[in-house]
Structure 1
Amino acid sequence: MRFIDVFAGCGGLSLGLLNAGCQGVAAIEKNPMAFETLRHNLIDGKRYSFEWPKWLPKEAMSCEQFITNFRAQISKLAGTIDLMVGGPPCQGFSTAGRRNPADPRNKMAEQYLELVKIVRPKYIVIENVSGFNSRFNEEKMTSAADEKYIKTSYAEYISEELTKAGYKVSRGKINCAAFGVPQNRYRYLIICSRENIRENLFEELTKTSSEFKKGKGLNPQSPVTVHDAIADLETADKIRIPSTDSSAKGFWEIDYKSPDILSPYLKILRDGFSGAPNSLRLPNHKVDTIVQFMKFRQASEPGKSLSKKARDALGLKKHAITVLARNYPSPTITTLPDDIIHYSEARILTARETARIQSFPDWFEFTGKYTTGGKARKLDCPRYTQIGNAVPPLLSEAIGKMLLSRCEIESCLEPAAALES
């Protein structure tokens, strides 16, 4: 099954599909930082590599640039792409932020639709935040062009457009924890088929969750916990060494040694990798910050966001901050590292710990700087942001396996014909 990944980020969706046995053809990502992580690991990676077209530069570009500059070449791919996936930027839909129908990032989903009409893939998967299916508030409309979002959610609008384009559309909300991700991360999926099938593909996916977990060596009856995911990264009794995997100086990381006995989840993420993962840099908190984190732990119920009463008492302006519960899945990993505090240490998580909770394997290397601030925040996509924005690879792998099993039944896979055109 050959796929194109649009709004690819650092490659969570692509990685899961590659793990499932699919073949990447092209990946479109606007941000250079995120694209470099994707290119380094998957496009030109040691474990995986894309069948990249000769006419397409291996560089960051927007979906709009892709269509405008390469429309003729893209048209020749029609009939050779089995699957098109993508998670259009979600900030305009997220209930965690300011839901803004005028947010230009919302319009990127329409560019995705245009690309669908050119490529005509057999299957389509769109992933977004659960708020993707919520209607916008009429008071926030800024123009008559926004009126369609009053009557329908953006998910409904896109689904209607895909139905008009000849696809059978199935959709719904899913918790990534059902597929072994140690995180209660609710996402909205739209799964479509160009074939005239009776099955609801979204429901087909949900039915595979237990078998998928079992196939990965996980207990289908129990969620994976944060302790399962990051216990070996705790700093207690560990030697610390200077961190050298970014240009910033003065940071430390643990001298990582893989445990002799791996938990079932850790076995998945170690994935035969014998070395130390990158992105282990420990935060360099001030004493006042550490004291504040200790107060958060005393004032909160582990696993639940700090109450408004507790936030007010602590003089905290942040809307959400959670101390992890050791024996439960994490809440949703975001792009802000100070949203979550470690379950036994007075610190935020390392980038690698967030990657573990997102189900990225240890061999996957994140590139670029760790964080950013000020005006650069709107332009940069540092490691924490790349990880927080990603689709958990385990969820993507489950999607890929479900679609591959359908294709084996339908014998729908066809050889490539247009890559060198």
Structure 2
Amino acid sequence: MIDSFNNSDLSFVDVFAGCGGLSLGLASAGWTGRFAIEKNPDAFNTLATNLVSGKNNKKSFEWPRWLPQSAISTTNFLAEYSNELMALKGKVTLLSGGPPCQGFSLAGRRTQSDPRNALTDDYIEMVKLLEPRFLLVENVRGFTLPFKKNANAELNNTPYSEQVQERLEKIGYKVYSGLVDLSLYGVPQTRKRFIIIAIKSDDPALLKLDGKTPLEELELYRSEFLANKGLPQKLISVKDAIGDLETAGKTLISCSDSPQKGYQQVDYAIAKFRTPFIELMRNGLESAPNSLRLPRHAASTIRQFGEIMESCPKGRSISKSDRSRLNIKKHALTPLLHSLPSSTVTTLPDDIIHYSEPRILTARENARLQTFPDSFEFTGQYTTGGAGRKLSCPRYTQIGNAVPPLFAEAIGRLLRKLAS
């Protein structure tokens, strides 16, 4: 029974923390954050608002005085605070984080020369300075595949995941890894991620595994975890996740947090549709959460979405022939099927069409699919277009990049057991 022991003072540092999905999950599992590193001010502000400043009288971090509560890159952090980091050697239990995945994503250009791939070097440098007992790395499936573009011949086109694991083993860690289907842990979307869990080679936690890997232990814990959260053992469908936020038959009110006027949102308070997952996400919240803003589509977009929903198979990406028939240039567009989990939530709001309404999902609906509780408040712009897209990190992007907190909590509970 993983949940049958007392909490201990288990600490973590979250690197490439984004808006705080991984941190939130670890904190929910009983861990205490020391600090988080995130270079984008928009994403960091969301993390700080929810997990650092004590919103709703809850704090997930005991932030050190020497580190400003502001955005900073890992490179600048190492340049400015290496001495402070060395002073924490052996005092941090877990170093977690997922280096930015765009350079590895199958949906992107996947070039070995992408500078974002080199950020893993910063992560490993922090491992050397901190020497934590445990490491947790989350990344996309493309992390495990060889590069075919701009490959470095000296590396024999070895998958980046193998390079990282070899480097961690050389500095004294026993490394376990594998692909995990997050939908098996209550996440209502088809989201597979590559997970690395590493344990110091002399740590007593290795004896607790008794020949099994941490990911095998996680799989064995799955049923107990879902029961503990009040969730069914079956996959969570998209309707079971966001059905209370449908607009049909609802009163629409003015959006409470849109910088632009004229937007609407559903009346959160009057929704009658309930499921165990929705109850978990609402968690007794009485006032409406933010990020409920409904899109204002052009009439032509509504017509096209309606035609897609009527003439294309739901629950999978539109085929090449259907894109040609409907004159759709976008390569990734999925009309959802109400009875299945959603397709993978991305950073682009127009990758998914609602299962019963001719519109994209709201930021809050995407957050639900990523298992952020409704009390979690996203800050910054909703979307950003044009040149600003490279500099800002709007809400949809923050949400799509995040580690689902519910899955992070499952891993956090497992690591808590091993660490105790």
Q: TM-score, normalised by structure 1?
A: 0.93
Corresponding position of 1:33: 42
Choose the corresponding residue for 2:32, options 23, 35, 41: 23
Kindly state the Cα deviation for residue 248 of structure 1 after the two structures are TM-superposed: 1.8
Q: CA RMSD in A?
A: 1.3
Kindly state the Cα deviation for residue 97 of structure 1 after the two structures are TM-superposed: 1.5
Corresponding position of 1:75: 86
1:180 maps onto 2:189 in alignment: no
Q: 1:91 is aligned with what amino acid?
A: Q
Q: 1:4 is aligned with what amino acid?
A: V
CA displacement, residues 317-371 of structure 1 (integer Å, 9 cap, x when unaligned): 1111001110110010000000000000000000000000000000000000000
Corresponding position of 1:219: 232
CA displacement, residues 12-65 of structure 1 (integer Å, 9 cap, x when unaligned): 000000111110110000000000000000011322241000000000000111
Corresponding position of 1:368: 380
Q: Which runs of 5+ in 2 are unaligned?
A: 1-9
- DSSP-derived class of the 1:159 partner: helix
Residues 351 and 261 of structure 1: CA distance in aligned 2, closer, same or farther (over 3 Å): closer
Corresponding position of 1:335: 347
Query: 1:125-164 maps to which residues of 2 (within 5 A)?
Result: 125-137=136-148, 139-141=149-151, 146-147=152-153, 149-164=155-170
In the alignment, is the contact (CA less than 8 A) between 2:256 and 2:290 conserved in 1?
no
Residues 259 and 244 of structure 1: CA distance in aligned 2, closer, same or farther (over 3 Å): closer
Corresponding position of 2:122: 111
In the alignment, is the contact (CA less than 8 A) between 2:238 and 2:340 conserved in 1?
yes
CA displacement, residues 265-287 of structure 1 (integer Å, 9 cap, x when unaligned): 11211123222111000001010
- DSSP-derived class of the 2:67 partner: coil
- DSSP-derived class of the 2:48 partner: helix
- DSSP-derived class of the 1:151 partner: coil
Choose the corresponding residue for 1:237, options 241, 245, 249: 249
Matches of 2:192 and 2:60, distance apart in 1: 30
Q: 2:415 is aligned with what amino acid?
A: L
Q: 1:105 is aligned with what amino acid?
A: R
Q: Which runs of 5+ in 1 are unaligned?
A: 409-421
Q: 1:245 is aligned with what amino acid?
A: D
Greater CA deviation, 284-293 or 295-304?
295-304
Corresponding position of 1:359: 371
Query: 1:152-301 maps to which residues of 2 (within 5 A)?
Result: 152-194=158-200, 195=203, 197=206, 198-220=211-233, 222-257=234-269, 259=271, 262-301=274-313
1:308 maps onto 2:308 in alignment: no
In the alignment, is the contact (CA less than 8 A) between 1:258 and 1:274 conserved in 2?
no
Give the paired residue count.
402
Matches of 2:285 and 2:131, distance apart in 1: 38
Kindly state the Cα deviation for residue 299 of structure 1 after the two structures are TM-superposed: 2.6
CA displacement, residues 288-323 of structure 1 (integer Å, 9 cap, x when unaligned): 010010111123211011000000111111111001
Percent identity reads 51
Kindly state the Cα deviation for residue 246 of structure 1 after the two structures are TM-superposed: 3.1
Kindly state the Cα deviation for residue 207 of structure 1 after the two structures are TM-superposed: 2.1
Kindly state the Cα deviation for residue 149 of structure 1 after the two structures are TM-superposed: 4.9
Structure 1 segments, 4+ long, off by >6 Å, are none
Kindly state the Cα deviation for residue 255 of structure 1 after the two structures are TM-superposed: 1.8
In the alignment, is the contact (CA less than 8 A) between 2:12 and 2:93 conserved in 1?
yes
CA displacement, residues 193-212 of structure 1 (integer Å, 9 cap, x when unaligned): 11262542122222211211
Matches of 2:303 and 2:194, distance apart in 1: 38
- DSSP-derived class of the 2:293 partner: coil
